[in-house]
Amino acid sequence: MVRFLKKSSESPSSIEKKKVYNSLEKNIQEMKYLFSSNRNKDFSMRSLKIKFNNKEGCLFYYSSIVDGSKIDMHVIKPLLENEGNTVMNVVSIENIEETNEFSKVIQYMNSGKVILFIEEDASTYAMDVADFQHRSIFKSENEPTVKGPQDAFTESLNTNLSLIRKQLHNNQLINEGIQIGKRSINEVNMIYIKDVVNNEILEQVREKLNNISVDSVRNVELLEQYIEERPYSVIPTVLYTERPDKATSYLEDGFIVLLMDSSSACLIVPVTFWSFFHSPEDRYLRFLYGNFTRAIRLLCFYLTLMISASYVAISNFHSEMIPPDLLLAITASRERVPFPLIFEVLIMEIAFELIREAGLRIPNPLGPTIGIVGALILGQAAVEANIISPIIVIIAALSGLSSFALADLNINFMVRLMRFVFILAAGAFGMLALTGVFLLFFMYAASVKSFGVPFFSPMSPHFLSPEDTVFRKPVKKELFRPGYLYPKDIQKKSKS
Amino acid sequence: MQNNGYLRIKEIAAMTLLLVGIKLSDSTPALLAQKAQNGFWLIPLLSFICIFPGFLIMLYLLKKYQDKNLIELMEAITGKWIGKGIGIVIFLFALLTITFDSRNYIEQIGLLYFPKSPTIVLFFIFIGIVFFGAKKGIEVIGETSWLFLTVIKISASLVILLSLGEVVMQRVFPIFGSGITNILTEGVKKASLFAELFFLLIAYKVTKASSMFSKGIVIASFITLFEITLFYFVYITVFDYNSIAKIAFPFHDLTQFINLGNFFTNIETLFMVFWLFAAFLKFIIFIYLATWIFGEIFAIRNFEPLLLPFSFLVIMIGQLPFNSIINELILREMLLTIMSPFFIILPYVLWGIAWGKGELK
Amino acid sequence: MIRVIVLLIFSILLSGCYDRIELEQQSYVIAIGIDKTEQEGVYSFTYQIANPEIGSAAVQSGPDEPPTEIVTVNGSDILSSTYTANSFVSKKITLDHTKIIVISEELARSEDFIRVIQSASRTPQIRRSVQMLVSKEKAIDFINNNEPIMEKRPHKYYQFMLNRAVQTGIIPKSTLHRFFQITEGDADLFLAIYATTEQSDQKKNTEGFEDKYIAGEIPQIGGSPTQFMGSAVFKEGQMIDILDGEETRVAQMLDKTLEMEDYLATIPDPKMPEYRISYNYYQKKEPIININYYKNKPTEIDVNISFQVEVIAIPSLIMYSQSKKDQQTLQEALTQRLEEKTNALIEKTQNSYKSDAFYWSLYIRKHFKDIKEYEDADWHKNIYPNAKINVTYELEKMEFGKMINDSNLEDVRD
C-alpha cells in the first residue's frame, strides 16, 4: 500500500520537469514512452519532411479526438508543400502554441491538439485540431418553459459559450479558464462580466477552484460538490442550471457562471434562496401573470414541505381544529385502518418517493405506464385493503405533486428531505415541535452563506436590489443590481 | 459575535416588537386587571409615559459615549466596579424575567394544548429550541425576527378583526376602572412592562450605524405601545371587567372564542402557531441578550457558549414547584414592582453623574 | 450512531407522546345535557356523541347504526363525568366540538345551576361560543327525543336550526360567553334559548297569528318534534321566567349587542280589522339608547328605534300603496302596535323581574368614573326598576314589494 502510494505520487512529478530534447529521435522515444504507443490504439504519429526548413518532423495526436481532414489540409499539406520561415507562417491553423515542457505536451495532447516536433528544435508546436464529439443543442428538458428560449446547454464548452455570447454582446464578458485536477487536467471556465462582478467574490471563487487538489474533476456536477462550503448541509449553496438564458440573466446581475466542457449545464455562484425559488419564465411572463405563478409556487412550497406534517400535527394533537364534518369523515375512514396515522402518512410518502425514483430509472418505453399503474395500484388498492385511509392518498398526492413545481433539483431534494423531518417532529409533539423545528430550520437557512452572501438577502438583511424576492416588480421598475453581490456598477437602469 | 452590519432599522424594530409586544398575549392583562379592573388597558400608556423619557436619556447617553453598549456605558460613567454591579443587577432582572415568563408561556402551552404532557418535557422542548435558535447569533435572530414579523402581525390583526364582532364599546366604561388613583399607582408600579427595552440596549453597536438602532427601537416602542393598548382594549370590551380578572390567558380565550364563519369554528390552533413563533423568537432574543449582558460584565467576548448553561438554568429555576397562579400573580408582580423604580431612576442617575463629571459637552 | 437515532425515532413514534391521540380513539360530543338528581351536588350529564360513519361516503356503515350515541352518567361536573362515562363508552370523550349545552328547566331554576355551569368555563375544551339551551323537560329526554328528520348528523342539525331561529328572532343568541358576561356583570337579565320536544296543550290563536308562543305550544303537523321558541330569563344565574317568541324578538330589537335580521309578522288591517296585513320588519340601524342619569330622581331612558317595513300581503285588497293617507294610517297602526308590545315587555321587566333584559346597563356606565361608584349606584336593584323609559319607533321606509297594486276585487268579480 505504502509502496503503491509512493510510486503513484512519483510519476507525474518527474515528467513535470522534463524539457523537450533537441534531438527528434529522443523526443519520439519519450513520446512513445509517455503515451504507451505500443498499446494505445488511438495514439497516432506521423513523420514527415518539412519543406520550409528542410528538416525531419513528427506529428503526434489522438486520432479519436481530432479532426483528420483538418490535420491533412491545414497541417500536413502546408508543412510538406509551403515555403516560409517559421512554423507559424507555414501552417494554416488558427491556434498554435509553442512549448518546451513535456507536461504541457501531455496536456495539449489530451485536449485534442496535434503536436509537432522538429529536428534540432527544443520547442514543440501544439496546433488545435480538436473535434470532441458532443450532442447537438437540444430543447431544455429538465427546466422547460412555455414562454422563453428553448435551447439548453450541451456537452461542449464552445457551443455553450456561444449560447451565452449570443445573448450577451458585451466585450466585458470574460471567459477565464482555470485548470484543475492532477491526473486528468480539466478546464473550468469562469464566466463573468468584468465591470460588474465584485472582485472579492471573484477572487474567492478563483481560490476555491485553485485549491481543489484531486486527481480529476470530470464535470460541473462534481465540481459543485468540490466548491460548496457545507457538504453535509441540507441546503444547497450552488445553483445548477441547463438553461443559457438563466445563466445569462445571472451574469448580467454580477453573478459568476462556471462551465466545463463535459457538462450540459452550468453552475452559478453565489446564490440566495430566491435563485432556487425563481424560474426564468417568471420574468418572461407579464408582471401579473409572473407573480401569479410565483404565488402558486409559494403555495406549492408550503404544501410540499408542510401539508403532511400539518395533517399529522392537527389530527394527532389538535383535532379540535378540524371542522366537525371533515373530522367525522376522517374518523370514519380511519376506523378500520390498522396503523397509527403517522405511519400511514410515512407509508404513503415513501411510496410516492419509490414511484418517483423507480419512474426515473425505468427504461423509457416502460416509463409512463408503469408510473401511472404503480400509483393507481398503490393508491386505490391500499385504500380498499384498509391499509391506508383515502384522505392520506389526497395528502400524499398533494405534497408529491406540489414538489414538482419546485423545478430546481437541489431545492427539490431539500424540501423532500425536510418533509420527513417535519413529519417526525409533528408526530412527536404536534404544533409545538413543528413550529419549533420549522423555526430552527428557517434560522439555519438564514445563517447559511453562499460565498459570503446570506441566504435570504435581499429580504433580510436588506440590500439595494431589484426587489425580486417572492414577488417581482415590473421589469421597468427594477433599477438596481442585487446589492448583496456588491457589484461594481449597481445601477441597472437610470431612473428616468 | 459577528457583525457584518446586516442589521438595520427594521430588524431592530422587529426584535423590539417581538420582545416587548408579545406581552399582549400572556397573562399580563390578568395581572393588571386584578387591581385596575377595566381601567387596566390604560396602564401600559401610563407605564410608557413613566419609563420612556428615561429610555430616551439612555439613548442620548449612548450616543454621547460613542462605541459603547449598555454595560460599557455604565462602566464608563460610574466607574468599573459600580458599573459592573449595576450590570449584575440588570442581568439578574433579565434572568428572572426570562424564568418567570418562560414558566408562564409553558403553562399556557401545557394547559391549553398539551394538557397531559409534563411541564418538564415541554420546558425542555421549548427551551431546547430557544437554545438552538439563540446559538445562531444576533444577526440571524434579527433577520428571522423581521421575516417572521409580517406573518405574526397578520395573524394578530386577524384576531383583532375577527373579534370586532364581539366588541362592546360601552364595556370600557366606567373609564377609570377601579379608580383613578389606583390606575395611576399601578401605572407607575408596572412601568417595568417596558423594561425589556433596556435589555435591548446591550445590542446598541450591532447595527450598521447607531442611529439605525435608536430609530428602530423608538419606532418599535411606539408601535408596541399601540399594539398592547389595542389588544388590552379589545380584551376589556370583549370580556368585561368581571371576567378579565378571572381569565388567565385572555389571548387564548379570545382565539378560542372567535370563529371564521360557520365552518371554521375552532381556529385557535391556527393562531397558536403564529403565537408560538413569536414566543420562540421572544425567548431566543431574550436569552441571547441576557447572556450577552453577562458576557459584557465579565468581559467574555465569546459568550455564545454560555447560552447552554443559561438555558439549563432557566429550565431549572422554572421547574421550582410553584403553581401558575403564584408564579404569575405573586412572583411576577413582585419582580415588576421591584424593577419599575430601578429602571425609572437609573437613567437620571447615570445622566446626573455624567453631567456632574462634565462629560456631556 | 445512526442506529441509535433510528431506534430513538421509532420508539418516539410507536410510544406516542403524552398528548398524541388518534382520531378514531376519540368520541366527539355534540350536545351535552345537564339534569338535576335527587342528590345535592350530583348532576346527571347526558352526552350526545356523533357516529362518524353516518353520512360518510367513504365507509359503508352498518345498517342499524344510529347517527348518534346518547349516554347519561351522574357526576359532579362536565369534565370529570366524561371519565365515568368511559366505563361504557369505548373511546375517549372529547368535548371540543360541543355545539350546545342543554339544561333542564328544573335545574335552571335551582340555585345550584351557577355552580355546575361554572365548571364549563374552566376547561379549555368547551368554547365560549357554545350555545346554552333550556329545555322544558329533562335534558336527557330532550336529547333522546330530538330526532331530526333531514339532518342526520347532529352538529349540522343544531347549527342550522339555531342559526335560522336566531335570524328570525324567535330565540336569542345565547352563548356561554354572553351568559358569563351578564351573570358576572350582575346587572342585567340573560336570555337563553327555550326549547322542548314535548307538545303541551296547544294555545288557541286567540289574539295573534304571530309568534306569541313558547316552545311546545306551536300547533305542528309533521316534522321533527323539537320546537325552539321563546327564551328562558336568567337573573343572577338563575332562571326566573319564560318569554314567548314575540317578547324575545322585542328584547332583541332593543338590545344593541344582539343581532336580528328581519322577521315576518302581521297586524290587523287598520281599515278592515277582520283581515290581517303581513309585513317584513327590518331593523337596519341599531337602536339609539340615551340614558340621563340622575342621582336623586328616576333615571330617564330614551330609546329610539328606526325600522323599515316591506308589506307582503294585503288580503283586504285595500290599495295602501296608492294613497298617502292610507299609508299614514297603516304606519301609525304599525308603530303603535310595536310600541304597545315593547312597553308591555318593559313594564314586565321593571315590575316583575326588576331588571332589564336588554343589556342596557352598558349605557349607564359612562356616567360613572369608576367601578365602585357604578356598583354602588346599583343598576338592576335601584336604577332600572325606577327608571322612566320612553320608547319611540320610527318608520324609516315602507315598501310594497314588487307589485305596484293588488288586483281589484270588483274587476275580478265582475
Please report all neighbours of B, defined by 3+ CB atom pairs within 8 A.
A, C
Query: Looking at residue C126, what is its pLDDT?
Result: 84
Q: Is A465 helix (H, G, I), strand (E, B) or coil?
A: coil
Boundary (domain end) residue, out of C243, C271, C303: C243
Task: Determine, yes or no, domain membership for A372.
Answer: yes
Residue predicted with more confidence, B193 or A379: B193
Beta carbon pairs, B and C, within 8 Å:
86
| CB-CB neighbors (< 8 A) of C184 in chain B | 240, 242-243, 246
Boundary (domain end) residue, out of C183, C212, C243: C243
pLDDT in tens, A298-335: 999 999 999 999 999 999 888 888 888 888 888 888 88
Average confidence score pLDDT of chain A: 86
Task: Determine, yes or no, domain membership for A49.
Answer: yes
| CB-CB neighbors (< 8 A) of C18 in chain B | 114, 116-118, 121
Q: Are strands C238-243 and C262-268 parallel, antiparallel or unpaired?
A: unpaired
Q: What is the DSSP letter of B166?
A: G
The answer to whether residues A312 and A398 belong to one domain is: yes
The answer to whether residues C129 and C266 belong to one domain is: no
Which grid cell sits at B16? Answer: 423590539
Task: Determine, yes or no, domain membership for A340.
Answer: yes
Report percent pLDDT > 70 for chain A. 95
Task: Determine, yes or no, domain membership for B237.
Answer: yes
Query: Looking at residue C346, what is its pLDDT?
Result: 86
Instruction: Name which of A73-87, C196-210, C380-394 the model is least confident about.
Output: C196-210
**Please, which pLDDT band fits residue C56 given cuts at 50, 70 and 90?**
low
Residue C367 sits in a domain whose CATH number is 3.30.300.210
B177 to C97: CB separation less than 8 angstroms, yes or no: no
Task: Determine, yes or no, domain membership for A310.
Answer: yes
Give the whole-angstrom CA distance, residue C391 versus residue C306.
11
Q: Is residue C47 pLDDT above 50, yes or no?
A: yes
Instruction: Name which of B119-123, C290-294, C335-339, C409-413 the model is least confident about.
Output: C409-413
| CB-CB neighbors (< 8 A) of C97 in chain A | 320, 324, 327
C184 to B243: CB separation less than 8 angstroms, yes or no: yes
Q: Is residue B277 pLDDT above 90, yes or no?
A: yes
Task: Determine, yes or no, domain membership for B2.
Answer: no
Q: Is residue A1 pLDDT above 50, yes or no?
A: no
Are the beta carbons of A451 and A205 closer than 8 angstroms? yes
The answer to whether residues A92 and A231 belong to one domain is: no
Query: Looking at residue C61, what is its pLDDT?
Result: 54
Task: Determine, yes or no, domain membership for A483.
Answer: no
Give the whole-angstrom CA distance, residue A47 versus residue A58.
4
Task: Determine, yes or no, domain membership for A486.
Answer: no
The count of domains in chain B is: 1
Average pLDDT over residues B333-358: 88
The count of domains in chain C is: 2
Beta carbon pairs, A and C, within 8 Å:
86
The answer to whether residues C290 and C231 belong to one domain is: no
| CB-CB neighbors (< 8 A) of B137 in chain A | 447
Selection from B29, B101, B62 nearest residue B282 by Cα: B101
Q: Does C97 touch chain B (CB under 8 A)?
A: yes
The answer to whether residues A235 and A171 belong to one domain is: yes
Given B4, B125, B143, which is nearest A432 (Cβ)?
A: B125
The answer to whether residues C293 and C239 belong to one domain is: no
The answer to whether residues C94 and C54 belong to one domain is: yes
Alpha-carbon gap: B132 to the closest alpha carbon of chain C (Å): 19
Given A316, A333, A341, which is nearest C59 (Cβ)?
A: A333
Task: Determine, yes or no, domain membership for C127.
Answer: yes
Task: Determine, yes or no, domain membership for B331.
Answer: yes
The answer to whether residues C277 and C378 belong to one domain is: yes
Boundary (domain end) residue, out of C209, C243, C277: C243
Are the beta carbons of C265 and C237 closer than 8 angstroms? no
A342 to C13: CB separation less than 8 angstroms, yes or no: yes
Residue B154 sits in a domain whose CATH number is 1.20.1740.10
Instruction: Look up the ipTM and state it.
Output: 0.93
Which of C123, C288, C360, C370 to probe the B interface (max B CBs under 10 A)? C370
Alpha-carbon gap: B107 to the closest alpha carbon of chain A (Å): 13
B37 to C371: CB separation less than 8 angstroms, yes or no: yes
Q: Does C79 touch chain B (CB under 8 A)?
A: no
What are the backbone dihedrals phi and psi of residue C243, each rounded to the nearest 5 degrees, phi first?
A: -100, 145
Closest residue, chain B, to A323 (C-alpha) = B264
- The separation between the first and the last C-alpha atoms of chain B, rounded to the nearest angstrom, is 32
A319 to C21: CB separation less than 8 angstroms, yes or no: yes
Task: Determine, yes or no, domain membership for A490.
Answer: no
Rank A391-405, B29-43, B249-263 by mean pLDDT and report only the highest: A391-405
| CB-CB neighbors (< 8 A) of B121 in chain C | 17-18
Q: Does C155 touch chain A (CB under 8 A)?
A: yes
Task: Determine, yes or no, domain membership for A239.
Answer: yes
Q: Which residues pair with C289 in a beta bridge?
A: C303
The answer to whether residues C151 and C288 belong to one domain is: no
The answer to whether residues C236 and C370 belong to one domain is: no
| CB-CB neighbors (< 8 A) of A429 in chain B | 114, 117, 125
Which grid cell sits at B311? Answer: 438555558
B125 to A433: CB separation less than 8 angstroms, yes or no: yes
Query: Looking at residue A390, what is its pLDDT?
Result: 85
pLDDT in tens, B319-333: 776 666 777 778 888
The answer to whether residues A116 and A174 belong to one domain is: no
What are the backbone dihedrals phi and psi of residue A407, each rounded to the nearest 5 degrees, phi first?
A: -70, -35
Task: Determine, yes or no, domain membership for B361.
Answer: no
pLDDT in tens, A264-286: 999 998 999 999 999 888 889 99
Please report all neighbours of A, defined by 3+ CB atom pairs within 8 A.
B, C
Q: Which domain holds residue A377?
A: 291-453
Alpha-carbon gap: A320 to the closest alpha carbon of chain C (Å): 5
Query: Looking at residue A9, what is its pLDDT?
Result: 43
Query: Looking at residue A7, what is its pLDDT?
Result: 46
Strand (E) or helix (H) holding B308: helix B307-318
Given B117, B264, B280, which is nearest A436 (Cβ)?
A: B280
The answer to whether residues A297 and A356 belong to one domain is: yes
Give the whole-angstrom CA distance, residue A282 versus residue A293.
7
Q: Which domain holds residue C293?
A: 261-414
B144 to A444: CB separation less than 8 angstroms, yes or no: no
